[in-house]
Amino acid sequence: MSRILDKNAFGKLLLYLRNQKGLTQEKLAKELNTTKSTVSKWERGDYTPNIDIMLSIADYFLLTLDELVEPTETLKKLQQQEDPSEIKPVEPQATSNPKKKFIPLFVCIGFIAIVGFILGVRYQNSKNTDTVALPCTLISQEYTVHEMYGYTLQLQYTTPTKYEKEHLKEYAIALSKEWSKNKDTEKDTKFISLSFYLENENEPYFMFGQLITPNY
């Protein structure tokens, strides 16, 4: 289904993302291999980036392309995640003997150190392994003509459980590359869109888009 990107809403989202990372327009321009004036025009809503830049922006800010082309909803979601009203105030504790506080403090520090070591080992091991295939089932394969992307292959998968976003994104990239090399995929396909659903649910919990390039 085609979408018309709201330039003003996209500009507000980009400004928010840039400020959250503490970046100047000049710094973001260097990251995206463009100019400061171009970033300024995006944020003012004068015009929007092309598809290649959109993909770079999505990767840089750890978003999906679908989240970028729905800027109003994405901005609202991000602002809700940092809403200070959701933070519960800390209730004052009764005065106790300060010597008794050292024991739980040492236990807490030791626990954090152990967890940090385990996570560090898991992260290092994950860097040395290929992307692990996640159990999922292809339920729909359809070709459409998208206003922004062109000839698009839309794929829908179901999963038995909701996977973490980072793992699912890596797997979606791998699936996109496999489909782009597949002999059965139409030669004119320019873009692959993947949607992941929990079994027996109608709304996807994760969506990912990948432009097909000659590098594949």
Q: What is the CATH number of the domain that holds 35?
A: 1.10.260.40
Mean pLDDT of 3-11: 85
Q: Considering 81, 103, 127, which residue would you say is the last residue of a domain?
A: 81
Mean pLDDT of 72-100: 65
Q: Is 108 part of a structural domain of the chain?
A: no
Q: In what order do the strands lie in the sheet with 191-198?
A: 137-146, 150-159, 191-198, 206-211
Q: Are 60 and 46 in contact (CB under 8 A)?
A: no
Give me the sign of the Cα torsion angle 95, 98, 99, 103: positive
Rounded CA-CA distance 147/27 in Å is 31
Rounded CA-CA distance 98/215 in Å is 63
Rounded CA-CA distance 100/7 in Å is 58
Range of the domain at 64: 7-81
pLDDT score recorded for residue 108: 66
pLDDT score recorded for residue 129: 38
Is the domain of 141 the same as that of 76?
Answer: no
Q: Kindly state the helix (H) or strand (E) to which residue 197 belongs, with its residue range.
A: strand 191-198
* Most confident listed range (15-19, 128-132, 176-180, 206-210): 15-19
Rounded CA-CA distance 185/12 in Å is 37
Residue 32, judged by CB atoms within 10 A of its CB (0-12, 13-18, 19+), counts as middle
DSSP-assigned beta bridge partners for residue 192: 153, 210
Q: Are 156 and 195 in contact (CB under 8 A)?
A: yes
Q: Is 110 part of a structural domain of the chain?
A: no
Q: Which of 118-127, 172-181, 205-214 has the lowest mean pLDDT?
A: 118-127
Q: Considering 81, 104, 120, which residue would you say is the last residue of a domain?
A: 81
pLDDT score recorded for residue 103: 57
Q: Is 106 part of a structural domain of the chain?
A: no
Q: Considering 42, 59, 81, which residue would you say is the last residue of a domain?
A: 81
Does 65 or 124 have the greater pLDDT score?
A: 65
Q: Is 158 part of a structural domain of the chain?
A: yes
Does 72 or 82 have the greater pLDDT score?
A: 72
Q: Is 160 part of a structural domain of the chain?
A: yes
Query: How many domains are contained in the chain?
Result: 2
Rounded CA-CA distance 216/103 in Å is 57
Q: Is 46 part of a structural domain of the chain?
A: yes
